[in-house]
């Protein structure tokens, strides 16, 4: 048996991937915090699931519609999401205090349609930061080329940021340097926190399809290895950038940690804790769905594995390149697909919310 505390002893924080009102209304999150969960992320998918499968949001929707019967679905969604993240942040405040701001964050995604609009991203982030009004809120925005200057400015303003949809070591380094520039431009006292989120399983899912299409033995041998190789090289970049002269010049600051998201395997042929067991190391975060967390506790292997076989990671990526596969092209496609996927999930949540509003109105 393993535990979250085993990972914490190795320098890695564990956050829960996804939350909804069912988790927050009862003792669910408090129980997970007692197990060692150090934060939660928020996105439209669990909200949509809870909306369809339960009455968890019915009373809150009814209250909002009583205030304004014509309230748009986007406004209702924001009101419910803000209330959820406030509840989560309040439950995590002791973790935030005890960890000196290292953990204890509740995440909230910005509307994904803003991924390619820096000014709209800034406006939405400032609005949500004021609305939630919790120091342990962390706003998530895609690390697109347009997202980088927005992220830098939010760091300047002291707003905690999760730079998401990372698949490339090159883009990761751009994110890290944007964070450091933001720190350098800060004039006010007080810490700001940030993570850079790699979506690891999606890398293998896409790379594996390409490798299987090539079909050569040397291509098939690389299946299930590219995501871990990318993550390990990103960690090497993290150590180089965050310990650079530029970083040291900032004095006391909170490093922007790498976060391993999408840590559940998509290929059932792979071990169900592949991306947890393979990416354990200091100054990192892993987000886990409940089923992945349970699997890790049952049969995970907690040991410092992130810096294992760094030379092999390089060789794997060189072998991929030798097969004519450009990892940066894969990363670019995954970024575009990730934005589209987020927009689809958000629109599905809004559609489900509109249906729920009709049901709640008829039931009055």
Please say whether the beta carbons of 45 and 345 come within 8 A.
Answer: yes
Coil vs helix vs strand at 136? coil
Structural domain of 328: 4-363
| Per-residue b or e along 38-57, where b marks 16 or more CB atoms closer than 10 Å to that residue's CB | bbbbbbbbbbbebbeeeebb
Domains of the chain: total: 1
Q: What is the pLDDT of residue 26?
A: 85
pTM comes to 0.95
Nearest to 341 by CA among 249, 206, 216: 206
Give the C-alpha distances (Å, rounded to integers) separating 262 from 201, 231, 286, 302. Answer: 6, 12, 9, 19
Number of H helices and E strands in the chain, helices first, is 17, 8
Cα distances from 342 to residues 27, 105, 324, in angstroms, run 29, 21, 30
pLDDT at 251: 56
Q: What is the pLDDT of residues 288-337, one digit of tens each?
A: 999 999 999 999 999 999 988 778 899 999 999 999 999 999 999 999 99
Alpha carbons 306 and 233: distance in angstroms, whole number: 9
Q: What pLDDT sits at residue 74? A: 96
Predicted confidence (pLDDT) per residue in 168-197, tens digit: 999 999 999 999 999 889 877 678 999 999
**What pLDDT, on a 0 to 100 scale, did the predictor assign at position 93?**
98
- Domain with 243 in it: what CATH number? 3.20.20.70
DSSP per-residue codes, 70-126: T--HHHHHHHHHHHHHHHHHHHHHHHHHHTTTSS-EEEEEPPGGGTT-HHHHHHHHH
Sign of the torsion formed by the C-alpha atoms of 319, 320, 325 and 329: negative
**Residue 21 in contact with residue 53, Cβ under 8 Å?**
no
Question: Facing residues of 40 across strands?
Answer: 16, 106
Residues of the chain with pLDDT under 70: 189, 245-252, 364
DSSP of 8-43, one letter per residue? Answer: HHTTEEEEEE---HHHHHSSHHHHHHHHT--EEE--
By CB atoms closer than 10 A (0-12, 13-18, 19+), residue 96 is buried
| Cα dihedral across residues 301, 173, 129, 348: positive or negative | negative
């Amino acid at each position: 048996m393993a535990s979250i505390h085993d990972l914490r002893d190795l320098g890695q924080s564990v956050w829960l991937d996804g939350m909804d009102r069912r988790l927050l209304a009862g003792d669910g999150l408090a129980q997970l915090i007692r197990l060692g969960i150090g934060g939660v992320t928020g996105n439209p998918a669990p909200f949509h699931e809870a909306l369809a499968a339960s009455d968890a949001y019915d009373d809150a929707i009814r209250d909002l519609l009583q205030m304004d019967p014509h309230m748009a679905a986007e406004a209702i969604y924001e009101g419910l999401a803000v209330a959820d993240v406030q509840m989560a942040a309040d439950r995590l405040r002791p973790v935030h205090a005890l960890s000196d701001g290292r953990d204890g964050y509740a995440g909230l995604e910005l509307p994904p349609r803003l991924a390619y609009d820096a000014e709209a991203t800034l406006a939405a982030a400032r609005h949500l930061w004021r609305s939630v009004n919790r120091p342990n809120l962390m706003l998530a925005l895609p690390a697109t080329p347009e997202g980088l200057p927005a992220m830098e400015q939010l760091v300047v303003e002291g707003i905690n940021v999760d730079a998401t949809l990372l698949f490339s070591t090159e883009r990761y380094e751009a994110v890290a340097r944007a964070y450091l520039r933001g720190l350098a431009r800060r004039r006010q006292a007080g810490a700001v926190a940030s993570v850079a989120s790699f979506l690891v399983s999606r890398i293998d899912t896409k790379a594996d399809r390409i490798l299987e299409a090539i079909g050569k033995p040397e291509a098939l041998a690389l299946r299930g290895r590219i995501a871990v190789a990318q993550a390990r090289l990103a960690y090497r970049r993290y150590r180089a950038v965050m310990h650079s002269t530029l970083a040291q010049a900032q004095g006391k600051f909170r490093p922007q940690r790498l976060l391993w998201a999408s840590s559940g395997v998509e290929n059932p042929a792979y071990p169900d804790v592949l991306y947890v067991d393979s990416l354990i190391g200091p100054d990192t975060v892993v987000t886990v769905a409940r089923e992945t967390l349970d699997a890790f506790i049952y049969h995970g292997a907690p040991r410092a594995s992130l810096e294992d076989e760094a030379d092999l990671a390089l060789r794997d990526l060189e072998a991929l390149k030798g097969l004519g596969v450009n990892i940066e092209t894969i990363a670019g496609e995954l970024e575009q697909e990730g934005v589209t996927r987020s927009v689809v999930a958000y629109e599905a949540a809004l559609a489900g919310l509109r249906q729920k509003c009709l049901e709640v109105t008829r039931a009055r």
